[in-house]
Structure 1
Amino acid sequence: MNPMDRFRLDDQTVIVTGAARGIGLAVAELCVHAGANVAIIDILEQQGEASAKRLAEASGKKVRFYGADLRDWNRAQSVVQEIGNDFGSTQVLMNCIGIGPNTEVLKISAQEWQDVMNVNVNAQFFIAQAVAKSMVESGGGSIVAIGSNSGLIVDRPQPQAHYNASKAAVHQMVKSLAVELAPHKIRVNAVAPGFVMTDMTKDAIANSGWLPIWEQNTPMGRMAKPEEIAFAMLYLASDAASYVTGSILVVDGGYTCW
């Protein structure tokens, strides 16, 4: 066996949440290149359908889209069942859903706080729990979540107390899941990106003038490309990381070194 084959996901079923665009889409595309069949889950149905169709046509792999609001516990359970019926057992979950509004702490409403927690924490947990149940039955698997360096430090200058708190919660959730699921041969890890050039950050950049500050505070002097985060997630999902669980892999261009 070629040792580099351990980075591949040949004929495995990978669920990627939040993959209609952004980091999730880059992850789905990389998984297809690594040999996987991919189930995309997103609330953005039109974009999700188009992304799944494009990836399937380009790769020849099985790629399907499932519209689902994962803030709903029941829907998280049912969509995993649907995917199981269509694909068989799932070996990998790439949990890429998240939102990041920028609001000053004194102006955050109760609804906005709940919205961030519902997407970034609750939805991530609901789908991870549902997939973990299926992985227990099939003999194991790997779950990789999107955290953030904002779960480790307070990024500046944007105001985002709710986002920071949600990502710290994701990191602790990942560690807790890793401990409890290890006996079932399920590994759970997270990637903690710094600033990544996605549609979400482009909107913030366009109206804020924050980009020069972000770049100045990053030793590598630039934002990440979505595929640079995807490669880190692929490593954690693959057999190349077979002894890695409960880890938060920081991919932030050195931002948290200062």
Structure 2
Amino acid sequence: MALPSFRLDGRTALVTGAASGIGRAIAVGIAESGANVACFDLPGPGLDEVCAEIEAVGVKASPIAGDVTDAAGLSAAVTRTQADLGALDLAVNSAGIANAAPAEEMTLDQWQRVFDINVTGVFLSCQAEAKAMLVNGGGSIVNIASMSGTIVNRGLLQAHYNASKASVVHLSRSLAMEWCGRGVRVNSISPGYTATPMNTRPEVADQVRQFEADTPLGRMATVDELVGPAVFLLSDAASFCTGVDLIVDGGFTCW
């Protein structure tokens, strides 16, 4: 029996939140697996930098500045992706934000902004991507959620963030069931504590030590450790996986 392929050669991907952190690592990893990649994020030098990394691998890249809360902008991004790189058949939606506040003091604006980006932004991204994939004959979408959608992080006052990531998990399942008969798979990845720029700042060093102590593997994930799970779910090796939430947390949710 031939082993299933984890390669993405000849395919076209769109990655939101591609300029930094987990999104950036996944965008480069997708390129290393053979796909051309459109990188979508807010304007800034990170977009051009990640596209340069991708092109150094030997595939094509397209930097696209925009905001995931802008439906028209996302639709235009898909159109540009297909014009620059070919028919869209892969997508990873990694754009998101986090912050903290006690629930009893949280402003409506703070609550709403987290949901606008983390939930509505993921929905609008999936909607724009799937409209193309359904025409193109199918595809695979991976949304970046969080283990915070499954557990409540001890000591972190982030009811809005936790609720938003739980929404991403169930949104992904719901879309998976809507589109499963038309060739579009939708899955999510729920990372545990990960060494993103936000979690490697000197001012959170004490907090990070607690994160690591609470994780069975004794450390945070590197952003590169999210690449394999994403490439797997995008690839033909995961052809029978849809509606899955893959928790990548170093064992955190076992305790």
Aligned partner of 1:209 in structure 2 is: 206
Report the AA paired with residue 33 of structure 2.
A
CA distance in 2, matches of 1:150, 1:44: 28
CA distance in 2, matches of 1:54, 1:207: 29
Aligned partner of 1:252 in structure 2 is: 249
Report the AA paired with residue 251 of structure 1.
V
User: Which of residues 216, 219, 222 is equivalent to 1:225?
Assistant: 222
Name the CA shift for 1:33/1:208 in 2 (closer, same or farther; >3 Å).
Answer: closer
TM-superposed deviation, 1:50: 1.8
RMSD: 1.4
CA distance in 2, matches of 1:190, 1:253: 17
TM-superposed deviation, 1:230: 1.4
**Contact 2:28 2:53 (8 Å CA) reproduced:** no
CA distance in 1, matches of 2:116, 2:42: 14
Tell me the matched-pair count: 255
Of residues 98-107 and 156-165 in structure 1, the stretch that sits farther from structure 2 once superposed is 98-107
CA distance in 2, matches of 1:111, 1:253: 33
Aligned partner of 1:200 in structure 2 is: 198
**Contact 1:102 1:158 (8 Å CA) reproduced:** yes
Residues 51-200 of structure 1 aligned to structure 2 (within 5 Å): 51-56=50-55, 58-200=56-198
TM-superposed deviation, 1:2: 5.3
SS of equivalent residue, structure 2 residue 250? coil
Q: Which runs of 5+ in 1 are unaligned?
A: none
CA distance in 2, matches of 1:76, 1:63: 17
**Contact 1:156 1:214 (8 Å CA) reproduced:** no
SS of equivalent residue, structure 2 residue 141? strand
Report the AA paired with residue 237 of structure 2.
A
SS of equivalent residue, structure 2 residue 104? helix
**Contact 2:38 2:64 (8 Å CA) reproduced:** yes
Deviations 1:185-208 (A, max 9, x none): 1100000000000012224x6246
TM-superposed deviation, 1:30: 0.7
Q: Which runs of 5+ in 2 are unaligned?
A: none
TM-score with structure 2 setting the length: 0.96
Residues 18-29 of structure 1 aligned to structure 2 (within 5 Å): 18-29=17-28
Report the AA paired with residue 36 of structure 1.
A
Aligned partner of 2:16 in structure 1 is: 17
TM-superposed deviation, 1:156: 1.7
SS of equivalent residue, structure 1 residue 94? strand
TM-superposed deviation, 1:10: 0.3
Deviations 1:12-47 (A, max 9, x none): 001111010100111011111101100000014321
Q: Percent identity?
A: 40
SS of equivalent residue, structure 1 residue 106? coil
CA distance in 1, matches of 2:106, 2:228: 34
SS of equivalent residue, structure 1 residue 35? coil
Deviations 1:75-115 (A, max 9, x none): 11111111122122111001111111122222221111111
CA distance in 2, matches of 1:143, 1:226: 19
Deviations 1:48-93 (A, max 9, x none): 112212321x212101110011101111111111112212211100
